[in-house]
């Protein structure tokens, strides 16, 4: 039997929370968005890695010189 509807919804919510730092970085056009995505992909499964990525994504963008 296949996965039920609640399982699919929970999986989508978990994926969204997991990639929340990357989603925020892309939405805010952060200049390190590629690096944040890579770090989130590789270290997001740890609480510390996820929190660091979130902190970087929420950091105010410095103006380009």
Q: What is the pLDDT of residues 27-53, one digit of tens each?
A: 999 999 999 999 999 999 999 999 999
In which domain, by residue range, is 52 found? 18-58
Distance CA 32, CA 29 (A): 9
2 assigned to some structural domain? no
What mean pLDDT is reported for the chain? Answer: 91
In a domain, 28, yes or no: yes
Q: Does the structure show a pLDDT above 80 at 1?
A: no
For the entire predicted model, the pTM comes to 0.82
Q: How many domains does the chain have?
A: 1
Distance (Å, rounded) from C-alpha 23 to C-alpha 13?
A: 13
Task: Report, as an integer, the average pLDDT of 18-32.
Answer: 94
CA–CA dist 38, 21 (Å, integer): 11
Q: Which two tokens stand for residue 30?
A: 């952060």
């Amino acid at each position: 039997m296949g996965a039920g509807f609640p399982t699919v919804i929970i999986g989508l919510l978990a994926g969204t929370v997991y990639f929340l730092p990357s989603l925020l970085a892309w939405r805010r056009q952060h200049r390190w968005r590629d690096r944040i995505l890579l770090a989130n992909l590789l270290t997001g499964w740890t609480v510390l890695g996820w929190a660091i990525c979130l902190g970087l994504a929420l950091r105010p963008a410095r103006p380009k010189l």
